[in-house]
A and B are shown apart, each in its own frame.
Chain A
Amino acid sequence: MSCTIINKERTGVINPILNCQPCGAQYAGIGIKDCIPLVHGGQGCSMFVRLLFAQHFKENFEIASSSLHEEAAVFGGLKRVEEGIEVLARRYPDLRVIPIITCCSTEIIGDDIEGSARKAARRLKELFPDREIFLAPVHAPSFKGSHVTGYNECIASLVKTIARKGEPNGKLNVFTGWVNPGDVSALKGYLKEMDVQALVIPDIESLDSPILPDKSITTYGSTTVEDLADTANSVGSLCLSRYEGATAATFLESKFKVPAVVTSTPIGIKNTDAMLQNISRMTGKPIPESLVRERGLAIDSLADLAHMFFAGKKVAIFGNPDLAIALAQFCHEVELEPALLLLGDDNSRYAKDPRIVELQETLECEMEVVCNADLWDLEDRIRNKGMKYDLIMGHSKGRYIAIDANVPMVRVGFPTFDRAGLYRHPIIGYKGAAMLGDQIANTLFAHMEYTRDREWILNTW
């Protein structure tokens, strides 16, 4: 059938799918241990992102602001960055990494944060001769790209700033892309199962953090400075995302000859197969029997759902491009029809993304891909253009479209603040595929019951 790839026709944005670059850079920054991102801009640029993270994770994260005010807008804000770095270093004795994240304002002013970082580094050396604090400049002007590119930029800057050539470590770098703590748990499970020593960048499993009897707070990522430094010495880099982390992986390849494989997010059976085969190929470790069984369990449970409940159902998908495209691939595997794919920024590479090309070739249904899309592209189709979707898959910012049009919606991606605990539930890997299948089915089942749409089928299922 046909697949059309278009750009959003409107100029402005009504209900954005993605946030701006500084948000993504901050998401990457909180994944590092002993790290406090310093956002160089107005206070809202960090305060609202912290709120967004609190909504998604139900956790608080340490992110600082240079608190840019008028005088900085006129005379430049570098003094505030330098002061911010020093205040952080003084008050947080364990601090080892500060990503310095610019925003639209400070990019327009033209603040030289590299120069500032050098100056601040000299000052820190005087103040704390026994400490090494890495300052990673992250250019994240909000008027370019989206939170996806901001994330990519911050991971790249952290690796560029900290990676150091040393002895070969026999480890595999795994760049996760923008995922959830539950996904990282699942990923680490696979690595363990395959007996692979890996550097997971960033390891955000611990962003889902406990209330402990001693009241200690451990709400930060687990990737250490040593891990980042050691990425230069690994056997290879596997980047599980094309747009979120690939720059770091290719940097390690060109600078330190660490071979990079940039692949799809392991959502669905085929993408998980590819991940495991890549891990096996890059490390020489075989894929164990246990994973053959886990794969079989996933296919077994999806087979109960696919041709009976999923086949022919039209799905509208939106979110981060790697996620949205992989979800479309997953839909294809389980006979759901990815009818609409909304990619929320203006990256010109999407049209040539090999996964989109493959979908174009293999799908039997019509699929519309809208680049630089917003959520009005979905609402307008439903409200004014007579398009019908049986399911919406995306993050919570699209909730009212589903509620108002009475279309069942599976919350997936970032942010998901209107359903409990989703950050904990993996959607990657075979188990994640099975769980995502369950989530889709149960959402459709609840909708059948509320709308009395052949709900009696479930009497005997």
Chain B
Amino acid sequence: MPMVLLECDKDIPEREQHVYIKATGEDTTMFLPASNVPTIPGTLSERGCSFCGAKLVIGGVLKDTIQLIHGPIGCAYDTWHTKRYPSDNDNFQLKYAWSSGMKEQHVIFGGEKQLKKSIQEAFDAMPESKRMFIYTTCATALIGDDPRAVARTVMEERPDVDIFVVECPGFAGVSQSKGHHVLNIAWMNEKVGTKEPEIVSPYTINFIGDYNIQGDTYLLQEYWEKLGIQVISHFTGNATYDELCGMHRAQLNVVNCARSAGYIANELKKRYAIPRLDIDAWGFSYMAAGLRKIGAFFGIEDKVEELIEEEYAKHKPALDWYKERLTGKKMAIWTGGPRLWHWTRAVEEDLGVEVVAMSSKFGHQEDFEKVIARGRVGAVYIDDANEKEFFEVVDMVKPDVIFTGPRVGELVKKLHIPYINGHAYHNGPYMGFAGFVNLARDMYNAVKSPLWGLAGKDVREVA
């Protein structure tokens, strides 16, 4: 079946290019949803802005860094208390939001003085913190403030601090994806190579595109330690500013989230000849396959097999218990982009769950190529889905559970469908072997709830 014009889209027919239902014998050379293009205004899309792609997704994860947002207060307020990425230093990055608190007079006369004072105050208030990211926003980009110049002055006055500037206002690009790109490339250009890491193992990697959602990074760190692999930089789960300056010294870049962080892996390959290895860190088969590739790269296959055997022995029985109960359940994935292709086959192979619909907020063509290659025939694949499309697709595919964000989650609750937080998880971590059992458990607890049965009953009807 080719591209589909949904009933709710009859007034915006260009949406046909974004909705695809896979048929037997088709491949992505024949049909591929349009993606990474501007949203139609007024459609109630789920997309965010590029500023949040830089700050909330990548930079804000760093556990030792002041994240100063140069702009009116909302950009700081809104990207605070919106993610579940803890750290092992008591969650400094979750507790604070810093803003230059731009006001009208700064719009008129420029905000650089305000920015400089705000930087000084932030360092004074938190004297143990010596690292800072500064982000521009719509307002400060439009008035043409030069935050780099301000940062340079402060660094001259305070030689012990280091400041990195991200220039990515919310209106740049078409979604948060642009922000990922800007931050990746700017970090590569300005910071990678400025610090030398201490090498303590013959096997070194950067683990790229994992943001320690509910402790993913900690869980995988156990594997790296068992294998004797030194992770020079986690990009950026539980990471420090300085550790990310030493990315150029790893022997291998292992990439999980290729959409948000594939750029830096590519640059490291071009400039430092560090090979890039993409893995999927969710799911038993995928995790094992990923570890085997890493093992082959370093010639430590035996250790990897030992680890996999150990993990399977520990966690496979629990996974199988859930698989028995979840087989045949139908799942929808409405998240950012990559988790569609990370999860669609993983849940099918490991849990017997059929993914019947998937929507990506900011995936690019290559994300759709991957997900359509891996996904089921008959499943619906949508780029930048909007609210009316969600309703129509739910009616078409009747999922038992939806992995998505809280907004859509609260919406589908009214349709008697449980949701699992597909971005920040319900009770993670979800990566690795133990993590995928957590995912299975959360999914099972969601679908088995007696409340969904009760929701459909009308008390006025006699049983």
Digitize A16-33: 1 where CB-to-B-CB distance is under 8 Å, 0 elsewhere.
Answer: 101111110000000000
Cα–Cα distance between A386 and B253 once the two chains are bound (Å): 48
**B388 beta carbon closer than 8 Å to chain A:** yes
Choice from A67, A104, A146 contacting B45 with Cβ under 8 Å: A67
Show 26 A/B contacts (Cβ-Cβ < 8 Å), sorted by A: A10-B118, A11-B100, A11-B101, A13-B118, A14-B122, A16-B97, A19-B78, A20-B77, A43-B47, A44-B52, A45-B74, A47-B46, A48-B79, A54-B409, A60-B408, A60-B410, A65-B39, A65-B41, A87-B11, A90-B11, A90-B12, A91-B388, A108-B138, A143-B104, A396-B81, A397-B81
**B405 beta carbon closer than 8 Å to chain A:** yes
Among A69, A80, A211, A219, max chain B CB count under 10 A is at A69
Digitize B78-95: 1 where CB-to-A-CB distance is under 8 Å, 0 elsewhere.
Answer: 111110000000010011
Check if A81 sits within 8 Å of B407, measured CB to CB.
no
Choice from B38, B73, B104, B388 contacting A13 with Cβ under 8 Å: B73
Check if A84 sits within 8 Å of B410, measured CB to CB.
no
Among the stretches B166-174, B186-194, B227-235, the one at the interface with A is: B166-174
Among the stretches B195-203, B266-274, B455-463, the one at the interface with A is: B455-463
Chain A residue with Cβ nearest B78: A48
Q: Which residues of B contact A60 (CB under 8 A)?
A: 407-411
**B297 beta carbon closer than 8 Å to chain A:** no
- Known contacts A54-B406, A69-B38; A44/B51 CB under 8 A: yes
- Known contacts A16-B99, A67-B47, A105-B138; A54/B41 CB under 8 A: no
Shortest Cβ distance from A206 into chain B, in angstroms?
A: 13
- Known contacts A211-B416, A213-B458; A13/B76 CB under 8 A: yes
Choice from B49, B68, B416 contacting A45 with Cβ under 8 Å: B49
Check if B11 sits within 8 Å of A50, measured CB to CB.
no
Shortest Cβ distance from A159 into chain B, in angstroms?
A: 24
Cα–Cα distance between A84 and B44 once the two chains are bound (Å): 10
**A62 beta carbon closer than 8 Å to chain B:** yes
Shortest Cβ distance from B56 into chain A, in angstroms?
A: 9
- Known contacts A12-B68, A44-B52, A45-B74; A69/B121 CB under 8 A: no
Q: How many residues of B contact A (CB 8 A)?
A: 82
Choice from B12, B45, B119, B171 contacting A72 with Cβ under 8 Å: B171
Check if A81 sits within 8 Å of B41, measured CB to CB.
yes
Check if B98 sits within 8 Å of A14, measured CB to CB.
yes
**A52 beta carbon closer than 8 Å to chain B:** yes
Cα–Cα distance between A141 and B102 once the two chains are bound (Å): 11
Q: Which residues of A contact B49 (CB under 8 A)?
A: 42-45, 47
What are the 3 A-B residue pairs with the smallest beta carbon separation, nearest first? Answer: A12-B118, A20-B74, A42-B170
- Known contacts A51-B407, A143-B102, A143-B106; A43/B77 CB under 8 A: no
Check if B42 sits within 8 Å of A64, measured CB to CB.
yes
Shortest Cβ distance from A349 into chain B, in angstroms?
A: 17
Check if B414 sits within 8 Å of A42, measured CB to CB.
no
Digitize A298-315: 1 where CB-to-B-CB distance is under 8 Å, 0 elsewhere.
Answer: 000000000000000000
Cα–Cα distance between A87 and B42 once the two chains are bound (Å): 6
Among B74, B101, B172, B415, max chain A CB count under 10 A is at B74
Digitize B272-304: 1 where CB-to-A-CB distance is under 8 Å, 0 elsewhere.
Answer: 000000000000000000000000000000000
Shortest Cβ distance from A356 into chain B, in angstroms?
A: 23
Residues in B394-416 with C-beta less than 8 Å from chain A = 405-411, 413-416
Check if A44 sits within 8 Å of B170, measured CB to CB.
yes
**B103 beta carbon closer than 8 Å to chain A:** yes
Check if A16 sits within 8 Å of B76, measured CB to CB.
yes
Check if B72 sits within 8 Å of A376, measured CB to CB.
no
Q: Which residues of A contact B45 (CB under 8 A)?
A: 43, 65, 67
Cα–Cα distance between A290 and B409 once the two chains are bound (Å): 42
**A413 beta carbon closer than 8 Å to chain B:** no
**B71 beta carbon closer than 8 Å to chain A:** yes
Cα–Cα distance between A144 and B386 once the two chains are bound (Å): 31
Check if A83 sits within 8 Å of B40, measured CB to CB.
yes
Q: Which residues of A contact B171 (CB under 8 A)?
A: 41-42, 68-70, 72-73, 105
Check if B170 sits within 8 Å of A88, measured CB to CB.
no
- Known contacts A12-B99, A49-B78; A143/B42 CB under 8 A: no
Q: Which residues of A contact B99 (CB under 8 A)?
A: 12-13, 16
- Known contacts A67-B39, A73-B171; A103/B411 CB under 8 A: no
Cα–Cα distance between A260 and B210 once the two chains are bound (Å): 56
Q: Which residues of A contact B43 (CB under 8 A)?
A: 64, 87, 91
Cα–Cα distance between A212 and B415 once the two chains are bound (Å): 8
**B175 beta carbon closer than 8 Å to chain A:** yes
Choice from A42, A55, A219 contacting B138 with Cβ under 8 Å: A42
Shortest Cβ distance from B275 into chain A, in angstroms?
A: 35
Shortest Cβ distance from B421 into chain A, in angstroms?
A: 11
**A142 beta carbon closer than 8 Å to chain B:** yes
Q: Which residues of B contact A58 (CB under 8 A)?
A: 410
**B162 beta carbon closer than 8 Å to chain A:** no
Chain A residue with Cβ nearest B174: A69
Digitize B413-442: 1 where CB-to-A-CB distance is under 8 Å, 0 elsewhere.
Answer: 111100000000000000000000000000
Check if A48 sits within 8 Å of B48, measured CB to CB.
yes
Chain B residue with Cβ nearest A140: B74
Choice from B41, B114, B137, B416 contacting A87 with Cβ under 8 Å: B41
**A59 beta carbon closer than 8 Å to chain B:** yes
Cα–Cα distance between A315 and B434 once the two chains are bound (Å): 44
Check if B173 sits within 8 Å of A380, measured CB to CB.
no
- Known contacts A20-B73, A47-B49; A13/B139 CB under 8 A: no
Cα–Cα distance between A44 and B262 once the two chains are bound (Å): 23
Among A105, A108, A216, max chain B CB count under 10 A is at A105
Q: Which residues of B contact A16 (CB under 8 A)?
A: 73, 76-77, 97, 99, 101
**B96 beta carbon closer than 8 Å to chain A:** yes
Q: Which residues of A contact B243 (CB under 8 A)?
A: none
Check if B410 sits within 8 Å of A59, measured CB to CB.
yes
Choice from A19, A50, A62, A217 contacting B74 with Cβ under 8 Å: A19
Check if A12 sits within 8 Å of B98, measured CB to CB.
yes
Q: Which residues of B contact A63 (CB under 8 A)?
A: 44
